[in-house]
């Protein structure tokens, strides 16, 4: 079994004291908007760029694949999301509540947030979790 170590960021990338709940939520709103726009446009490149290229994964628990599946690597995740979005009619993806900044150590920090969405085939109200890994230029999805 391949190992997937926890991702690390360079110490000092984020000042934990500056990451208020509102700042974390605004960053999460921005990233989920870009994610949603890329998914709605079936833009494989833009959707793939939302993910942390080296270690991102999407773990689906029935909502889209109707199975317990895990997808790894940004390109594979983006392609699979676009395909399943078309099959299930994914719509209304929205951030749920506020995001939280989690600082485990100076090199392990992320923004944790929840989201909701609906599917048309079959009709269902679903929820998910996003972990956003901060870097100097943007926040990237680590876990979906």
Number of domains in the chain: 1
What is the pLDDT, as a whole number, of residue 18? 87
Is residue 9 one of the residues assigned to a domain? no
Is residue 91 one of the residues assigned to a domain? yes
Contact criterion met (CB below 8 Å) for 131 and 114: no
What is the pLDDT, as a whole number, of residue 1? 41
Tens digits of residue pLDDT in 48-81:
999 988 788 888 887 787 778 888 899 999 999 9
Contact criterion met (CB below 8 Å) for 131 and 115: no
Is residue 73 one of the residues assigned to a domain? yes
Contacts of 100 (CB under 8 A, 6+ apart): 21, 24, 111, 112, 113
3-state helix, strand, coil in the chain (%, to 5): 30, 40, 30
What pTM was computed for the model? 0.87
Residue 23, domain extent: 17-143
Is residue 12 one of the residues assigned to a domain? no
Which 3 state secondary structure label does DSSP give 31?
A: helix
Which parts of the chain register pLDDT below 50? 1
């Amino acid at each position: 079994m391949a190992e997937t170590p926890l991702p690390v960021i360079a110490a000092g990338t984020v000042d934990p004291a500056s990451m208020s709940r509102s700042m974390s939520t605004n960053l999460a709103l921005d990233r989920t908007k870009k994610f949603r726009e890329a998914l709605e446009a079936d833009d494989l490149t833009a959707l793939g760029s939302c993910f942390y290229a080296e270690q991102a994964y999407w773990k689906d628990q029935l909502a889209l694949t109707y199975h317990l599946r895990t997808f790894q690597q940004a390109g594979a995740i983006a392609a699979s999301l676009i395909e399943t979005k078309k099959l299930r009619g994914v719509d209304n993806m929205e951030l749920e509540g506020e995001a939280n900044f989690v600082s485990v150590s100076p090199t392990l920090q992320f923004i944790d947030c929840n989201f909701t969405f609906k599917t048309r085939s079959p009709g269902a109200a679903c929820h998910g979790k996003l972990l956003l890994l901060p870097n100097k230029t943007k926040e990237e999805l680590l876990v979906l």
